[in-house]
Chain A
Amino acid sequence: MKSINEINSLKLIIKALFFVFCGSYLLLIIKNMFAIMENDLSYINECSSEDITSLIIVTIVIKLISKGLFFIGFYHLIKVLNFETLDGSFSIKKINLFKKSGRLILLSGVIGIFAISIDMLINVFNATFSTIEQNNDFLYSLYFSAIVGLFLIVFSKILERASELKKENELTI
């Protein structure tokens, strides 16, 4: 009972973080829409409007996709957290949600790392070294995201096995 109370308080923190993330993602979309309406992509990227190439636009779109995937994965994870008892986490539905969110977060991390790598290469060619450090910091969070995604997939496999063992245990007379 005590552990459930602890988990409930942690769930609240995660849900609050999800709303913060939703807010920041919404702001990002508004900023990008504004940039497109103004026809000035320097709002999105640190480079000046003359430097903008199609490659930069592609990286921006890939980053947006990566963040969108993370958003969906995070949403699934929030749905997983809506269980009342620990036994509820053994249901097939919850396990599938864990797997789904893990895959999405892992994919988001991998796509994000790919986009940042392209961005870093562009910065090297353009000799804008100040943004390389920023990108490098962002890279760590993406690596972490990919690792968390992988962990969630592994965890879902463990839960799947645990669910099978629970069923077997229930059918032991």
Chain B
Amino acid sequence: MPIIVNLDVMLAKRKMKSKELAEIIGITTANLSILKSGKAKAVRFSTLEAICKALDCQPSDILEYIED
């Protein structure tokens, strides 16, 4: 998929663990792992909003479009 999820990078920048983020945004660590690995088919606006709020960033910091 040409959409890359840079959640790992943002987590490293904010020095936050996946488990912490999962607890803050209210999703399971398994689902966060799916999102991080790029296996997710779609992201809800509410989830994206929660991630941006927790990591204090913009959606463009998390999602990136790279042409195949």
* Chain A interface residues toward B at CB < 8 A: 167-168, 171-173
Contacts and interface: CB of A to CB of B under 8 A. Distances in A.
Interface of chain A, main secondary structure = mixed
Contacts of A167: 41
Interface string B43-56: 11001000000000
B21 interface: no
Interface residues of B, number: 12
Given A173-B40, A173-B42, 17 more contacts: A168-B41, A168-B42, A171-B34, A171-B39, A171-B40, A171-B41, A172-B40, A172-B41, A172-B42, A172-B43, A172-B44, A173-B27, A173-B31, A173-B34, A173-B35, A173-B43, A173-B47
11 contacts: A167-B41, A168-B41, A168-B42, A171-B34, A171-B40, A171-B42, A172-B44, A173-B32, A173-B34, A173-B35, A173-B43
Interface of B: 27, 31-32, 34-35, 39-44, 47
Contacts of B47: 173
A8 B31 CA distance: 34
A168 B31 CA distance: 13
Nearest to B42: A172
B30 to A, nearest CB: 10
Q: Across chains A and B, which 7 residue pairs bring their CB atoms closest together, nearest first? A: A171-B41, A172-B42, A168-B41, A173-B35, A173-B40, A173-B31, A171-B40
Nearest to A170: B41
A67 to B, nearest CB: 45
Contacts of B42: 168, 171-173
A171 B35 CA distance: 9
Q: Which of B39, B40, B47 is most buried by chain A, counting CB atoms within 10 A of its CB?
A: B40
Contacts of B35: 173
Contacts of A168: 41-42
A161 to B, nearest CB: 15
Contacts of B41: 167-168, 171-172
